[in-house]
């Protein structure tokens, strides 16, 4: 038995010697021909060439998070580390040339070395970044570069896709015109309707700061609103995700400057300012939901922003300024009181030493239905009221009294809540729909 074990041991030793001999003439092939640093430098050179290749640069639509819309960004890189960055943000106010570099930590990074429009857009919703702005390069081809923000964490991580810009997209001045047309001017109506075959199917509202549009329509007998992103283009705008309004699909619109409206001629769709509401406004039971109403002003800090129209704010603050200049006192508050009784009155507060002076104008009001079933309230100055006989419609109060006691009356629209128990209400003159004034009830 001992001899058998010795024999087995000698056989195993022989096998090992044969295997060792057979390997002496072979070398292990390396997995890569270059070190990791060498491979990184090669990849960076490839990316540099791709970035600098397009004559018209790269274009993409940047958003820092889900709460912000999409902003057009046009970038033209050179191989020396300079890049021209232009965008649709603030009408191009932050267009500039800066420097960039390609770096690497875990991935190849595109690093913008000084403040640019990416910082400003990133900071819209109280974000903060005072340093370099960094994207990871996820992939890059001749036609598309996909970037990932290195500043984002969690589930809301921005992926920013660039494509080669077309020659027609290089001049952003036409994009700025589209943005101005979308934003509208202070004299435009607060009613903006979406028409299909000239019949209103929805309303349209655009916030130029966030780049979101609000589409409101009636579904199953009730108002429904969708807040959606849109992309401003050189010819108009488009929805990156189409919007379905009861079977009508909203995709893209072209601005018609002559008609001052956005159109999709193929689908027979138009978006335009109108003097009448296209749909039923959010109803408010005037006289029953609150006994008094007061004009809400921005500086009172009740809401994040004043929703009175620009036209009304300009008119109202102009009247207050003129009153202070001519009379020597300021206007602090404007109410309509007792609207839940038979004796309503316009009540204007004027701060004086020792308290407030008050100008009272007794009135009545009526409610009637207008187009699409919207309620209209009409206030009438009561010329026979004892309170009014002595005071009269003094010239210094005429701008606001003429505004309130107008023959056309006001459309009534419930707006956002002031708090759990109070509403805000929009009153829109029927004969001047640019002048929405926001009140709150109590």
pTM for this prediction: 0.82
Asked whether the CA dihedral 189, 190, 196, 201 is positive or negative, the reply is negative
Please state, as a whole number, how many other Cβ atoms lie within 10 Å of the Cβ of residue 284: 21
CA distance 309 to 427: 11
Please state, as a whole number, how many other Cβ atoms lie within 10 Å of the Cβ of residue 124: 18
Q: Which of the residue ranges 6-20, 128-142, 275-289, 314-328 would you say has the lowest mean pLDDT?
A: 6-20
Percent of the chain residues topping a pLDDT of 90: 70
CA distance 17 to 29: 23
Per-residue pLDDT band for 7 (boundaries 50, 70, 90) equals very low
Please state, as a whole number, how many other Cβ atoms lie within 10 Å of the Cβ of residue 98: 17
Percent of the chain residues topping a pLDDT of 70: 87
Looking at residue 300, its pLDDT comes to 54
Render pLDDT for 16-46 as a digit per residue (tens, 0 to 9). Answer: 444 444 444 445 444 456 666 777 788 899 9
Render pLDDT for 368-403 as a digit per residue (tens, 0 to 9). Answer: 998 888 999 999 999 888 776 555 557 889 999 999
Cα-Cα-Cα-Cα torsion 389, 395, 397, 402, nearest 10 degrees, comes to: 90
CB-side neighbour CA atoms (13 Å) of 257? 7
Looking at residue 37, its pLDDT comes to 72
Q: If you write DSSP's letter for every residue of 347-359 in order, what string do you get?
A: EEEEEETTEEEEE
Per-residue pLDDT band for 439 (boundaries 50, 70, 90) equals very high
Looking at residue 5, its pLDDT comes to 44
Render pLDDT for 112-146 as a digit per residue (tens, 0 to 9). Answer: 999 999 999 988 866 666 678 999 999 999 999 99
Q: Which residue has the higher pLDDT, 244 or 123?
A: 244
Please state, as a whole number, how many other Cβ atoms lie within 10 Å of the Cβ of residue 6: 10
CA distance 179 to 175: 6
Ranges of beta strands (E only) in 57-165 are 58-62, 71-77, 82-87, 96-104, 108-112, 133-140, 144-149, 159-164
Please check whether residue 359 is in contact with residue 394, taking contact to mean a CB–CB distance below 8 angstroms: yes
Looking at residue 142, its pLDDT comes to 96
Asked whether the CA dihedral 114, 116, 120, 122 is positive or negative, the reply is negative
Q: Which residue has the higher pLDDT, 274 or 8?
A: 274
Ranges of beta strands (E only) in 141-256 are 144-149, 159-164, 191-196, 199-207, 212-219, 222-229, 231-232, 236-245, 248-256
Q: How far is CA 135 from CA 89, 96, 145, 158, 395, in A?
A: 19, 19, 11, 9, 62
CA distance 406 to 315: 15
Cα-flanking dihedrals φ and ψ of residue 183, to 5°? -70, -40
3-class DSSP state for residue 65?
Answer: coil
Render pLDDT for 45-103 as a digit per residue (tens, 0 to 9). Answer: 999 999 999 999 999 999 988 888 999 999 999 999 999 999 999 999 999 999 999 99
Q: If you write DSSP's letter for every residue of 97-115 in order, what string do you get?
A: EEEEEEEESSSEEEEE-S-
Fold annotation for 36-168? Lipocalin (2.40.128)
Please state, as a whole number, how many other Cβ atoms lie within 10 Å of the Cβ of residue 112: 20
Average pLDDT over residues 202-215: 94
Looking at residue 123, its pLDDT comes to 85
The pLDDT mean for the chain works out to 88
Task: Tell me the domain boundaries of the chain.
Answer: 36-168, 175-274, 293-441
Render pLDDT for 344-353 as a digit per residue (tens, 0 to 9). Answer: 999 999 988 7
Looking at residue 265, its pLDDT comes to 97
The H-or-E segment that residue 183 falls in is: helix 173-183
């Amino acid at each position: 038995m001992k001899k058998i074990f010795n024999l087995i041991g000698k056989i195993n030793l022989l096998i090992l010697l044969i295997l060792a001999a057979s390997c002496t003439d072979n070398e292990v092939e390396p997995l890569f021909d270059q070190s990791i640093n060498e491979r990184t430098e090669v990849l960076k050179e490839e990316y540099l060439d791709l970035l600098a290749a397009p004559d018209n640069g790269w274009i993409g639509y940047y958003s820092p998070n889900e709460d912000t819309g999409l902003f057009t960004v046009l970038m033209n890189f050179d191989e020396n580390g300079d890049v021209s960055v232009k965008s649709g943000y603030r009408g191009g106010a932050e267009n500039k040339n800066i420097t960039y570099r390609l770096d690497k930590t875990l991935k190849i990074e595109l690093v913008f070395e000084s403040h640019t429009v990416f910082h400003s857009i990133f900071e819209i919703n109280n974000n903060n970044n005072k340093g370099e702005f960094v994207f990871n390069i996820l992939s890059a081809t001749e036609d598309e570069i996909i970037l990932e923000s290195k500043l984002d964490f969690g589930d809301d991580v921005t992926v920013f896709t660039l494509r080669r810009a077309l020659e027609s997209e290089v001049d952003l001045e036409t994009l700025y015109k589209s943005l101005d047309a979308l934003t509208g001017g202070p004299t435009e109506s607060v009613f903006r309707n979406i028409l299909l075959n000239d019949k209103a199917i929805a309303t349209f509202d655009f916030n130029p700061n966030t780049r979101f549009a609000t589409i409101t329509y009636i579904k199953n007998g009730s108002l429904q609103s969708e807040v959606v992103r849109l992309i401003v283009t050189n010819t108009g705008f488009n929805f990156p995700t189409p919007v379905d309004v009861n079977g009508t699909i909203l995709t893209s619109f072209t601005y018609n400057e002559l008609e001052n409206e956005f159109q999709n001629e193929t689908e027979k769709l138009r978006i335009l300012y109108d003097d009448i509401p296209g749909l039923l406004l959010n109803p408010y039971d005037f006289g029953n939901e609150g006994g008094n109403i007061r004009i809400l002003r921005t500086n009172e800090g009740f809401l994040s922003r004043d929703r009175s129209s620009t036209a009304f704010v300009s008119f109202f603050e102009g009247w207050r300024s003129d009153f202070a200049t001519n009379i020597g006192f300021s206007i602090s508050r404007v109410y309509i009181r007792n609207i839940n009784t038979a004796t309503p009155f316009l009540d204007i507060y004027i701060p004086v030493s020792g308290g407030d002076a008050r100008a009272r104008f007794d009135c009545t009001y009526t409610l009637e239905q207008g187009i699409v079933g919207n309620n209209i309230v009409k206030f009438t100055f009561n010329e026979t009221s004892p309170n009014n006989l002595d005071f009269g419609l003094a010239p210094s109060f005429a701008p606001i009294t003429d505004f309130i006691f107008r023959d056309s009356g006001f459309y009534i629209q419930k707006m956002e809540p002031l708090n759990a128990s109070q509403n805000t209400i929009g009153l829109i003159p029927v004969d001047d729909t640019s002048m929405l004034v926001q009140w709150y009830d109590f």
